[in-house]
Amino acid sequence: MELNRRTVIAGAAAAGIAATTLGTGTAEAASGGRKPVKEPFGKLADGTKIYRWSLENGGTRLKVLNWGGVVQTLELPDRRGHYANVALGFDNIDDYVAKTPYFGALIGRYGNRIAKGQFTLDGKSYQLSVNDGVNSLHGGTQGFDKHVWDVEPFVKGSDVGLVLHYTSVDGEMGYPGTLKAKVTYTLTKRGEWIIDYQATTDKATVVNLTSHVYWNLAGEGSGTIEDHELTIPAGRYTPTDSGLIPTGELATVRGTPFDFRETKTIGRDIRAGHVQQVQAKGFDHNWVLDKGITAKPEHVATLRDPRSGRTLKIASDQPGLQFYSGNFLDGTLTGTGGRTYRQGDALCLETQHFPDSPNHSNFPSTVLRPGQVYRTRTVHTFDA
């Protein structure tokens, strides 16, 4: 499949175009943002020190761990200027190591599921680490979210940010090739949060990197997201089997609860009894974005909390979006604010290639080859 090459090239173009846009100098830019601040955030069992970085720009505040590139907190003002942390997380490293359902983490080498953890590439079969029933989820038992990343802060014109590096060795979690991943978190002076993903490999492999922030725009721990309004410009989605592996069909959303083309609340159709929802305990599907793979990030979702007015717009160059309505939050985890998280207390919007792409020749390819550069960008714009 040559589609992957197009993704790779398209992604590169996107980064180029956007980099120029970000570089535009203004008086404000000249004053520059403040340098991210680093502080200790506990230790791993083997004594490895974990750090937390605090960044702020344009009214958006982020706290990021070098563990899994985790966005621990993301604070945004409401329409009256009152701040709330809108991302689920923990207040200590032990909980992240022992029981996180990927709160705020960077996901790799392959975001989402690969059936039975198996795929064939160039005639060779690979067995990946299996951690979700018989399937491999989010890279296996020790995905990119369960490693220490190298973190470098930067201030560039009016932008502030972090560059995160992780090298996944050949054979790690069963994946072929040493993959060098670089992820850049940028906060712009308009308060946008941009994620730039980049990766190279020394052997043909598959890659699908994403970010796993659990959003609640009313504030983490404040209750359900069922009254949040959501828009997804996608006329199709990928139905799954009971293990949440795509059947391969690209089904229409027309006349189903999966139709988010016109803005509606998440709660409106979440109990509609569609077999796909019953199977997933809610929404946990990949939407096939109408725009397809694009040269630069285009609109893929708008999420709004009507009470606070907080609005999140996401743009991406990727072909898919996983909307997960927090179905497996079961009241056993207590977050940063000391409140317990229950089913539907947050949602994830993961910009990505389709799940299980390595086993579906009709899906855009996720193959990365030596000499190619994987690049993709996600832009989060906030408003109130």
Where does this chain bind ligand BGC (CB under 6 A)?
101-102, 244, 284, 322, 324, 328, 348, 350
Nearer to ligand BGC, 101 or 344 (CB): 101
Q: Does 92 show up as a binding residue in the annotation? A: no
3-state SS string for 286-324: EEECCCCCCCCCEEEEEEECCCCCCEEEEEECCCEEEEE
Is 330 annotated to bind a ligand? Reply is no
We find the least distance from the C-beta atom of residue 44 to ligand BGC, in angstroms, to be 21
User: Measured between alpha carbons, how far is 69 from 109 in angstroms, rounded to an integer?
Assistant: 14
* 190 annotated ligand-binding residue: no
Q: Which is nearer to ligand BGC, 177 or 257 (CB)?
A: 257
Backbone angles phi, psi at 212, to 5 degrees: -115, 50
Q: Which residues contact 312 (CB under 8 A, 6 or more apart)?
A: 86, 215, 217, 301, 302, 303, 304, 380, 381, 382
Cα distances from 176 to residues 62, 147, 185, 302, 312, in angstroms, run 34, 18, 27, 36, 36
The DSSP secondary structure of 69-116, one letter per residue, reads T-EEEEEEE-TTS-EEE-B---SSHHHHHHH-S-TTEEE-SB-SEEGG
Q: Of the two residues 55 and 347, which places its CB atom closer to ligand BGC in the complex?
A: 347
SS3 string, 120-176, reads EECCEEEECCCCECCEEECCCCCCHHHCECEEEEEEECCEEEEEEEEEECCCHHHCC
Find where tokens 């490293």 sit: 93
212 in active site: yes
* CA of residue 253 relative to chain centroid, distance: 23
Residue 212 annotated as part of some ligand binding site: yes
User: Taking the complex as a whole, how short is the minimal distance between the CB of residue 319 and ligand BGC, in angstroms?
Assistant: 16
Angle at 221 between CA 218 and CA 227, to 5 degrees: 40
Contact of 251 with 141, CB cutoff 8 Å: no
| CB closer to ligand BGC out of 192 and 284 | 284
Nearest distance from C-beta of residue 343 to ligand BGC, angstroms: 12
Length of the chain (residues):
384
Q: How far is the CB of 113 from ligand BGC (least distance, A)?
A: 8
Ligand-binding annotation for 214, yes or no, is yes
Q: Determine whether the annotation assigns residue 213 to a binding site.
A: yes
**Nearest distance from C-beta of residue 242 to ligand BGC, angstroms:** 12
Q: Give me the residue whose beta carbon is nearest to ligand BGC.
A: 101
* Catalytic member of 212, 228, 353, 360: 212
* Cβ nearer to ligand BGC, comparing 100 with 381: 100
Q: Which residues are annotated as a binding site for beta-D-galactose?
A: 112-113, 212-214, 284
Q: Which residues are annotated as a binding site?
A: 112-113, 212-214, 284
Q: Name the residues annotated as catalytic.
A: 212, 350
